[in-house]
Amino acid sequence: NNENDDDHDGFQPVLFVSLCRNTLLEANVAKLGCSLPPARKTGTTICGVVYKDGVVLGADTRATEGMVVADKNCSKIHYISPNIYCCGAGTAADTEMTTQLISSNLELHSLSTNRLPRVATANRMLKQMLFRYQGYIGAALVLGGVDCNGPHLYSIYPHGSTDKLPYVTMGSGSLAAMAVFEDRFKPNMEEEEAKQLVRDAIAAGIFNDLGSGSNIDLCVITKGKVDYLRPHDEANKKGVRTGDYKYKHGTTGVLTKQVTTLQLEVMDESVQTMDTS
Amino acid sequence: SCDFYVSPARRSSGFRATTIMAVEFDGGVVIGADSRTTTGAYIANRVTDKLTPIHDRIFCCRSGSAADTQAIADAVSYQLGFHSIELDEPPLVQTAANLFKQMCYRYREELMAGIIVAGWDKRRGGQVYTVPMGGMLVRQPVSVGGSGSSYIYGFIDSKYKSGMTKEECLRFTADALALAMERDGSSGGVVRLAAITESGLERSVILGNQLPTFFSA
């Protein structure tokens, strides 16, 4: 009863056919003293991990408009409540607005119940909203926080399904990040170990996925404390220019100088005052 | 407008191709499922729990779209809980099954959900109701669902006999699911089992390396 995979675009296979040509080109170009242009990147890597005392959320910081980087240092870890934060992948506007809406509603709910909000509540609110919009709100989220029942981590998909897991990754770099998690995740890690793991997972996404870039942000949530580390790791610091293309005055000798004024007549002049009363 | 790029997936929610199963026995039911959720060819969750509690003694096995089945299960849990409080009695499995049917039939064009409802109640004991895509409702002593079910109809038909004990049912379910997971690419991970009886609920997990093995060429 389930459809076959013939019309799915779920996963583009990685083709290595250009590898031989590229290595040859690179070798030839290096002989001339130049280097090939670097690959342009688009996309996101976000992830989260539950450790002994809480959760660690991580994200890269690149926002793209098609093939152009729109923001080199955007913040993808959004505030939901004092004890709950949410990383967002997908359409930037959707993740921003969705998290803000649920944050607002959760604050009202918290005031009404007179209790610190629970991660499960935020999860319910998010999934019910996303399901209502049948996937048209392109927000893929990693929701994490610590409440009265301990640390919790959820992944939420644009169509409204959620998974509650000890470690999750989302975004185009999710496969690279998941590879790191699957290798090194252990339950009940210490904080430093967990931070290093998340940092490495995001780095894997940044450097191996043509989908993410710039810096690594972390958010460590424990009972009663949140460390928003932005940036935690400036993995792609902008380089310093080694050369200068400015020429000093006098580099080119001036032989003659001739000034011709343009004949401009004032045809019409009108002043319109602005009403500043 | 700004855009984060998300790995392309027609159903980025996690489309679930699955194997689910439920068997009645005297005194209760045994339900089982695999644990794989896929987004295209990527396994988004390899330890999914597709056996969802709807009430204390009523579970549902979910196959199809993860988002749709989660939303339906949440809605039916709410409705059944409300109904049970009004009734001041544990609800009937048939009631739960009918709630699923009503939702799945009414929104049949929009939903992609194949659900097996199973549980125990005082009136009729252990019951299994299947609500496949389209919204049909029928009670069956044994029922399978999901993409992996195609591979085990023969096994079920030949190996099922009425009057099995709980342990025999658990063995039967584990064997059937292992066979389906072996053959169906979209099913895999671990086998989750649950036995629901009057006295309560016993959940178990069979990890990949502990699965029953059969002949493989």
Secondary structure (DSSP) of B46-109? TT---EEEEETTEEEEEEEEHHHHHHHHHHHHHHHHHHHHHHTSPPPHHHHHHHHHHHHHHTTT
Do the chains contact at A64 and B71, CB–CB below 8 Å? no
Q: Provide the pLDDT confidence category of residue B14 given band limits of 50, 70 and 90.
A: low
H/E stretch holding A131 reads: helix A119-132
Q: Searching chain B, which residue's CA lies closest to the CA of residue A154?
A: B45
d(CA B190, CA B46): 8
Task: Give the residue ranges of chain A where pLDDT is below 50.
Answer: 1-12, 38-42
Q: Which residue from B7, B70, B146 is facing A161, i.e. has the nearest CB?
A: B70
Do the chains contact at A64 and B5, CB–CB below 8 Å? yes
Do the chains contact at A10 and B47, CB–CB below 8 Å? no
Min Cα separation A261/chain B (Å): 45
Q: Chain A partners of B1 at a C-beta cutoff of 8 Å?
A: 65, 91-93
pTM exceeds 0.95: no
pLDDT at A23: 77
Do the chains contact at B3 and A158, CB–CB below 8 Å? no
pLDDT at B174 over 60: yes
Touching check for B130 and chain A: CB below 8 Å?
no
Touching check for B65 and chain A: CB below 8 Å?
yes
Q: 10 Å Cβ neighbour count for B204?
A: 12
| Predicted confidence (pLDDT) per residue in B122-171, tens digit | 999 999 999 999 999 999 999 999 999 999 999 999 999 999 999 999 99
Q: Are A59 and A201 in contact (CB under 8 A)?
A: no
Do the chains contact at B11 and A159, CB–CB below 8 Å? yes
- Out of A44, A61, A64, A121, the active site residue is A44
Nearest to A174 by CA among A199, A150, A205: A205
Which residue is associated with the tokens 């006295």? B199
Which residue is associated with the tokens 């002994």? A52
Find the mean pLDDT for residues B56-83: 97
Do the chains contact at A9 and B9, CB–CB below 8 Å? yes
Q: Provide the pLDDT confidence category of residue B199 given band limits of 50, 70 and 90.
A: very high
pLDDT at B12: 43
| Predicted confidence (pLDDT) per residue in B24-56, tens digit | 999 999 999 999 999 888 999 999 999 999 999
| Mean per-residue pLDDT over chain B, rounded | 91
pLDDT at B140: 96
pLDDT at A16: 58
Interface test with A, best of B3, B4, B144 (most A CBs within 10 A): B4
Sheet holding B28-33, edge to edge: B142-145, B20-25, B28-33, B191-197, B200-206
pLDDT at B71 over 60: yes
**Which residues lie below 8 Å from residue A110, measured CB to CB, with a gap of 6+?**
A81, A116, A117
Interface test with B, best of A154, A157, A214 (most B CBs within 10 A): A157
Do the chains contact at B67 and A1, CB–CB below 8 Å? no
What residues of B are labeled active site?
18
pLDDT at A19: 67
Touching check for B109 and chain A: CB below 8 Å?
no
| Predicted confidence (pLDDT) per residue in A115-129, tens digit | 999 999 999 999 999
pLDDT at B9 over 70: no
d(CA B182, CA B176): 10
| Predicted confidence (pLDDT) per residue in B109-132, tens digit | 999 999 999 999 999 999 999 999
Q: Are B144 and B157 in contact (CB under 8 A)?
A: no
Cα separation values, B118 from A65, A96, A174, B99, Å = 49, 40, 36, 13
Q: Which residue from A44, A157, A174 is facing B13, i.e. has the nearest CB?
A: A157
